[in-house]
Every structure is written in structure tokens, then in C-alpha cells.
Amino acid sequence: RWWNQAFEAAGFQDAYRVEMMPEGADPMDVRYNVIQWVHRSTRGWSYGSSVRDPRTGEIIKGHVSLGSLRVRQDYMIAEAILAPYMAGQEVPEEMLEFALARLRQLSAHEVGHTLGLSHNYIASTNNRASVMDYPHPYIQLKEDGTFDLSEAYDVNIGEWDKVAITFGYAEYPEGTDEKAAGEQVLLDALADGIRFISDQDARPQGGAHAYAHLWDSGESPTAELNRVMEVRQKALEQFGQNNIPEGTPLAMMEQTLVPLYLFHRYQVEAAVKLLGGFDYNYAVRGDGQSALTPVSAADQQAALEALLATLKPEHLAVPESILDQLPPMPLAFGRNRESFKGRTSVMFDPLVAAENGATATLSLMLHPARANRLVLQNSRNGNALGLDDVLGDLLITTWKKTPQPGYMGEVQRTVNMVTLRHIMNLSLDKGASDQSRAMAYASLMQLMDWLKTQTEVGNRAWAAHYQYALLMMKQWMAEPEPFTFPKPADVPPGSPIGSHDHSACGMW
């Protein structure tokens, strides 16, 4: 019913209503706009589509399909963060409220598609100006160490949504120049600082828009990444049997851990776009919008530091207190595509989780399009971040860090190898420019020289690690092109599961 707010803003009173479907009505009947609750085999995408008159484009019927398993995913995120199952205590009401708040937002989002609206991914950095963004739960860590879910999701239609409905639906008195009136609606919105950036800019992993992202929150991607890491860290520290209900196999903690461990992945994707990124608009000649501004050197440096922090072993090590409580899956239970993969057979493999976590950051940080833009921006402005700065800081944070003993050292070595493979990949990537490849090559040469100086390592695990890296690099130098890398383990899905080919559907 949120859309009534937008239609009221466009001058219609009570024109938009939501009612229960009349008894005996057919959901496929073109006379009814329908919101349908569907059960699927997994948490699929929800859809908002419409039947249109091919001659005029007029929307005749809107049809929303909401996937029922989606609500469980949010419930599981709440279970993972809150550790809510204290012995002898009631399960907090706010978990259900949290999941239902997401569902309300999702319903409004899909209805928005049926009304003809596109995604607006800049809304989450623009004061939640649209329900047509993909929201990430904004969970706050309170001073007393507990979590606050009360502002997790938006509760109203956004300012951009009112603009879009007014633009598309407003009726004007006879004789009004409707085109000019519509343009004025948009110009007024721009003057109010309400922005619009859609899929083509927000979706690509190599994208360059600093503020249009999927599944993110907050005005500053960097500050939000640092904040999200604190929430994640606190929840990881307290993670244990209170994260699953009484009577659940302990092994199922492994499943609940997944959305928590990867809780930061989409905020990483937001912050990474500051590297070699721009703030830009779909500016039209004469509309007064600024075309593009590069992200400042200081903001890029801060983003880089926040991203490198996600690679620290203390952030990527699954706490040993969790490992000590995790048996293999019992009979009739098993891992599925939502699980972490592993190389330790039935046992949970925390090093593959660390590998997944490092990959989430590095695959984006060293994306060839981003690398190419970093080279270009540094050539135009010597003070701006360059690819060599990124690679240099990356090696300082990983390989050149003081080796730690024990389990932390094992996590560190895992991250080092993921780093090495990603730099090697960049040096061979067909999408990377020659200069990006040259920079990747140079940083590997530098690493090789450094490794050769590490002859005094007292620890046999570290000595083997350094020798093995040298061997890999020699193989790569001798025969780079056919060199195949051991495939990093797949990361469990984050977004809803299933195809989202938008040429086929246009909306989801």
C-alpha cells in the first residue's frame, strides 16, 4: 500500500488500493492486477512483470510473484547475527518483524516494476530515496554489544518513487504542455538532490559509479564497509550454539554461519567501486547536472585501506570456538549449494571459507576494467591512486606481513595464495590492458625478489609456503599462457538463486 503515497503525491486520492483477491477469480485474468505468493525449490528471485499493449506500451495488467523462501533467508540472517536461542528464553519477536519488513519492501519493489519503474541503485546512498534499490539489512551494533534491527529496512515509499509516478501518471489540465510539465518534474527532483542510476552502471563488477550499488547501505561506501565489518566481527565472536534452535543438529551451525561470514561481501563491492571510480549522472545538455567527477585521492585511499582490512587473518579466521563445536552433518542432512565447499571431506573447512572471503575482495579489487582505469587515472593525475599503489599495498598487507604462528598463520598463507593467484590472473587477463598486465608482472617480479631474501624463516610451514610460491612463479614465467591455476573454491550464492537474464525479463 506504500504506492498510495506516491499516487497521492501525483495528485490522486485513494486511487491505489490493495485488496484480497475476490473468491473464484483467476490470477491469470487480465482484469486483475495480482500479487502472488509462490513456493519454489529454493530462494529464487521475485518478479514484477506486466502485460502491455504492444501498440502503445500501455500497462494493462501487473503481476507480481513473490518467492516464499526469501523470507527464510532473512530469518536466517537474523539468527546468524543475533544468536537468539538462549536456553530458557523466548525467541525475540524482532526476528519475525525483521523478515516481514524485508517482505514489505520486496512487495513494494516488485509492484514498482509492474507500474513501469526501473531499478534506482543510487537510492541507498541517497537517503533511501527509492524502494527500487536492492536493500541490505541495516543492522546496528549498540554500545552494550547487542544489535538493533529496527532500521533494517525502509518503511515507506521513497522520494524518487513519488517523482517517477508523478512523471509517468500525473494528469494535467486541458491545454498543458505535458512534455514540458514532465520535464519540470524531473528538473525539480534534480534540484532537490534526488538522483537516478540504474542497472547498466550498478550491476557490472567492473563498474565505475562510486554511489550506485546493489545490496548496500549508507552514504559513504567506505564508512559503511568499516561499520559492517564491526557488526560481522561482533556476531562472529559470539557465534555458537545459541545461533540454532534447541533440537537442531549442531552441524547446521555451518549453514547459519554462511550469511554471517559473507555479510560484508556486497559492501565490499560498493567500496571497491571507489577505486578508479567516478560520481556521474545521466546528464543531458542543458539540464544543469554535473557530468562526472573522479573520486578524490583521499577517498580512494580510504576505500583501499578498508578493503585491505577485509583480508586480515583476524577477520577471515573462523573462530576456533566455532570449529570446536562443529561435527560433520548427521544422516539425512547434507551440504548443498548454499554451503561452503571444502577440501577436508566431511569436516568443515575454515580455510576454504577464508579463501572465499579473500576472493570476494580480490576478484573485485583486481578486476581488469578497474585495473585499466587505475592505470589511466594515475597517468592523468600523478597524485591519484595507481594500479602499482594498489598492488604494492596489497603485497604489504599480505605476503610481506609478519608471519604468524599456528592457525592464524595458516589463514594468512591461504590469503597469500589467493592474492598471488589473482595477481597472476591479472597478468594474463585478456580484458586487462598491456600496461595493467605489465604492472601485475612487475609486482610479481618484485615479490619473487623479496621471497628469495626470506631465507632465515625459522618456521617450516612458512619456509615451505615461500618455496612453493617461488616454484609456482617459475612455472608461470616459463610458460605463462597455458599455465592453469588451481580453481579457487566457489563462493556460496548471496543474491537470490536462479537466472536473472534481464534481456528476457527486464525486471526482478
Binding-site ranges for Zn ion (CB under 5 A): 508
Cell of 261: 561470514
CB of 115 to Zn ion, least distance (A): 12
Q: Which three cell numbers stand for residue 141?
A: 551494533
Q: Which of 125, 123, 200, 190 is nearest to 161 (CA)?
A: 123
In angstroms, give the least distance from the CB of 147 to Zn ion: 27
Question: Closer CB to Zn ion, residue 266 or residue 508?
Answer: 508
Q: How far is the CB of 237 from Zn ion (least distance, A)?
A: 35
C-alpha cell at 280: 556521474
Which residue's C-beta sits nearest to Zn ion?
Answer: 508
| Shortest distance, position 214 Cβ to Zn ion, whole Å | 10
What does the longest C-alpha to C-alpha distance in the chain come to?
87
Count of CB atoms situated within 10 Å of the CB of 379: 11
| For Zn ion, the closer CB: 163 or 411 | 163
* Grid cell in block for residue 433: 590492458
Given the complex with Zn ion, which of 132 and 270 has the nearer CB atom? 132
Q: Say which residue the cell 534534480 belongs to.
A: 190
Smallest separation, CB 121 to Zn ion (Å): 10
Least distance between Zn ion and beta carbon 192 (Å)? 24
Which lies closer to Zn ion via its Cβ, residue 122 or residue 302?
A: 122
Q: How far is the CB of 268 from Zn ion (least distance, A)?
A: 22
The DSSP output letter for 207 is -
Smallest distance from Zn ion to CB 221, Å: 21
For Cα atoms 363, 367, 368, give the angle at the middle one, nearest 5 degrees.
145
Looking at the Cβ atoms of 120 and 310, the one nearer to Zn ion is: 120
Q: Per DSSP, which regions of 345-482 are E strands?
A: none
CA distance linking residue 443 with residue 446, whole number of Å: 5
* 466 vs 508, beta carbon nearer Zn ion: 508
Q: Give the 3-state secondary structure of residue 466.
A: helix
Nearest distance, CB of residue 119 and Zn ion, angstroms? 5
* C-beta of 212 vs 304, nearer to Zn ion: 212
Strand partners, 147: 141
Collapsing DSSP states into helix, strand and coil, what is residue 502? Answer: coil
CB nearer Zn ion, residue 108 or residue 244: 108
Q: Minimal CA–CA distance to 489: which of 362, 357, 341?
A: 341
C-alpha 128/C-alpha 123 separation (Å) is: 5
DSSP string, 26-91: -TT-TTS-EEEEE--SS-B--EEEEEE-TTT--EEEEEEEEETTHHHHHHHHHHHHH----TTSPP
Which sign, positive or negative, has the C-alpha torsion 50, 106, 40, 494? positive
For Zn ion, the closer CB: 130 or 398: 130
For the bound state, the minimum distance from the C-beta of residue 116 to Zn ion, rounded and expressed in Å, comes to 12
Minimum distance between the CB of residue 282 and Zn ion, rounded to whole angstroms? 19
For residue 196, which of 271, 288, 137, 117 has the smallest C-alpha distance? 117
The Cβ of residue 29 has, within 10 Å, a number of other Cβ atoms equal to 11
Closer residue to Zn ion in complex, CB, 52/474: 52
As beta bridge partners, residue 62 has 50
Nearer to Zn ion, 130 or 255 (CB): 130
**348/508 with CB nearer Zn ion:** 508
DSSP alpha helices (H): ranges in 238-381? 253-261, 265-272, 297-309, 313-316, 320-323, 350-365, 368-380
Beta bridge partners of 140: 148
Distance of CA 44 to the CA centre of its chain: 17
Residue type at 215 in one-letter notation: W
Kindly state the smallest distance separating residue 160's Cβ from Zn ion, in Å.
14
Q: Which residues pair with 67 in a beta bridge?
A: 38
Q: Which is nearer to Zn ion, 160 or 508 (CB)?
A: 508
Supply the minimum distance, in Å, between the C-beta of residue 113 and Zn ion: 6
Strand partners, 37: 66
Residue 73 and residue 40 in contact, taking contact as beta carbons nearer than 8 Å: no
Which stretches of 170-213 are DSSP H helices? Answer: 178-191, 199-202
